[in-house]
Structure 1
Amino acid sequence: MSSPSVSGAIASALAESEPSAKVMAARRVAREWRKGRLPFRFDVAMPDVPGRPARPELLPPTKMPKRGRGQSLKGRIALFHALAHIEFVAIDLALDMAGRFGGEMGKDFVSDFLSVAADEAMHFVLLERRLRALGSFYGDLPAHGGLWDAAGETRHDVAARLAVVPMVLEARGLDVTPTTIERMRSAGDSAGVRILERILDDEIRHVRVGANHFAEVCERRGKSPDSTWKTLVKKHFRGRVSGPFNDSARNAAGLSRELYAGIAY
């Protein structure tokens, strides 16, 4: 009997709905791929919508309760819950990237995004543990219901997916996380500070992975990365690209000020 393909293993991980099962599945796929145990075959389609737990309740952005500034216990719980949900969805976004576009993009692309998926799974675990230490848990509060929308909007084109997910959505985390770290430090939450610093370091690398593969796609297609990125973001991203920007972190991630300044407002 032949081994399960990498696409089959990824699709199975995406289908997991229970958080701890999805975390373990994402880590397992990344490990099995790294050890050469998953054949490079793309014979299983990715689901349009990944598995989701019964909780948290998913709400439209306009219905989400305001979190405040996050320094009180209640505010910190709300903040870490929101971040845990972002990381949970990020596991699926990275898995889907590898499984949906890996056949087209090649083994290095699969390796990169399975590594990202494993990182996001680790981030989720750290945040969920912090929630429990604060007396809460993932699923205890409502969460943003639109985070998967970017995947559906860009499922037809790897360039569009790379332009929107790593280079806009994840890049926004580079902008806001330093301020969040300082709020946690002011609140005396040293454990939260350490978690957020680890996430920020990893996300710089994740954005750089996305930017590098985007540049490769554009080179293959004979297009300018800057103008192509701006065109794809205007077409496929429903939100706003707005500052303030963390220029140093973005530059470390391969995003020049000139790239996003022309589209920001």
Structure 2
Amino acid sequence: MNAQQQQICAALLENGIDAKLAAVAVLPDIVAVDDWIAIPTPSIPGRPARLQLVAPRDVPRRRNLASREGRFALLHALAHIEFNAINLALDAVCAFPGLPAQYYADWLHIAKEEAAHFAALRRLLQVMGGEYGELPAHNGLWEMAVETADDPLKRMALVPRVLEARGLDATPPIRARLQALGDTEADAVLAVIEAEEIAHVAAGSYWFRWLCAARDLNPDTHFFTLLDRHYRGRPGGVFAEPARLAAGFSEYELQRLRDRAQEGCAGG
């Protein structure tokens, strides 16, 4: 492990919020990867000690965004996603040696943008008199990181192209609700996140397809093989199709996702 990889892994394992943001801010844009080694994905990444992880059903609901509690719960949940996204990008750099230098540059850039997203949401929480870590959250994003720790192909397919792509679907209706409430500040933060997350998912799509080509796999069909093998449940609801197309999904993939969502609804 060279000094740059040590620096990135230290940022991944940093628990303190301010310390992690500071560590990410000074990470290099380009790394020398000749002596990169595989660093096992940690079962527990760096995150605030006060953060309580619970089952998804026990996460505070956020239906009434007109209330302070509902708005805070929503922004806290979004901040939790972005904090996890920092760790996911850093782990994508640390865990998988032997890839092109551009792969590492892409995920370092993404880690810095995820840190900026988290910082912007955290400021909204602070304006409301709170802080990230005050409410329980679930660990689904990191559980998928652990499940895909053995293979960058699986990681690119199932984290950016499944879990993070769901954020592309969820953001437009959230923004519409915030706009209806006149919360222009939160909406402006989400507008930036929405635009940049398309590029993050697109990076996942690019490297997923690159790895499929290197292994002589059909990316369109292999994506669904991995989805069936590793993803619990069925991606459903309304898909943000223009955003997904911009993020590297093919028309074939979108049609299969639509079909699977309809099958899930038909099956109850």
- Residue matched to 1:235: 229
Instruction: State the Cα distance separating 1:88 from its structure 2 match.
Output: 0.4
Consecutive unaligned residues in structure 1, runs of 5 or more: none
Give the 3-state SS of the residue equivalent to 1:135 in structure 2: coil
Shift of 1:72: 2.3
- Deviation of residue 147 (structure 1)? 2.3
Q: TM-score, normalised by structure 1?
A: 0.92
Q: Per-residue deviation at 1:112?
A: 0.3
Task: Tell me the CA shift for residue 18 of structure 1.
Answer: 0.9
Q: Deviations over 1:66-118 (max 9, x none)?
A: 221423222111100000011001100010011112x2212100000011111
How many Å apart are 1:120 and its aligned residue? 0.5
Relative distance call for 1:79 and 1:150 in structure 2 (3 A) is same
Tell me the CA shift for residue 40 of structure 1. 4.5
Partner of 2:14: 16
Counterpart residue identity of residue 23, structure 1:
L
Instruction: Pick closer, same or farther for the CA change 1:193–1:91 going to 2, 3 Å.
Output: same
What does 1:36-115 align with in structure 2 at a 5 Å threshold?
40-43=34-37, 45-48=39-42, 49-101=44-96, 103-115=97-109
Counting only pairs closer than 5 Å after superposition, residues 82-231 of structure 1 correspond to structure 2 as 82-101=77-96, 103-231=97-225
**Structure-1 separation of matches of 2:34 and 2:16:** 27
- Distance in 2, matches of 1:237 and 1:131, equals 31
Distance 2:148 2:39 in 1: 16
Q: State percent identity of aligned pairs.
A: 40
Native 8 Å contact 1:11 1:47 kept in 2: no
Is the 1:185–1:193 contact (alpha carbons within 8 Å) kept by the matching residues of 2? yes
CA distance in 1, matches of 2:48, 2:56: 19
Match of 2:255 in 1: 261
Aligned residues: 258
CA contact (8 A) 2:40 2:149 kept: no
* Residue of structure 1 equivalent to 2:25: 27
CA contact (8 A) 1:251 1:257 kept: yes
Change (3 A) 1:245 1:14: same
Contact 1:5/1:43, CA 8 A, preserved across alignment: no
**Could you tell me how far apart the structure 1 residues matched to 2:211 and 2:78 are?**
30
Instruction: Tell me by how many angstroms 1:188 deviates.
Output: 1.1
Query: C-alpha separation between the residues in 1 aligned to 2:25 and 2:255?
Result: 36
Superposed CA RMSD: 1.7
The CA distance in 2 between the partners of 1:201 and 1:19, in whole Å, is 24
Residue aligned with 1:262, SS: helix
Residue 65 of structure 1: how far off its partner (Å) = 2.4
Quick check: 2:33–2:101 contact (8 Å CA) kept in 1? Answer: no
Deviation at 1:234, TM superposition (A): 1.1
Q: CA deviation at 1:4?
A: 4.5
> SS at 1:41's partner residue?
coil
How far, CA to CA, are the matches of 2:7 and 2:81 in structure 1?
23
> Shift of residue 218 of structure 1?
0.7
* Structure 1 residue matching 2:95: 3-state secondary structure: helix
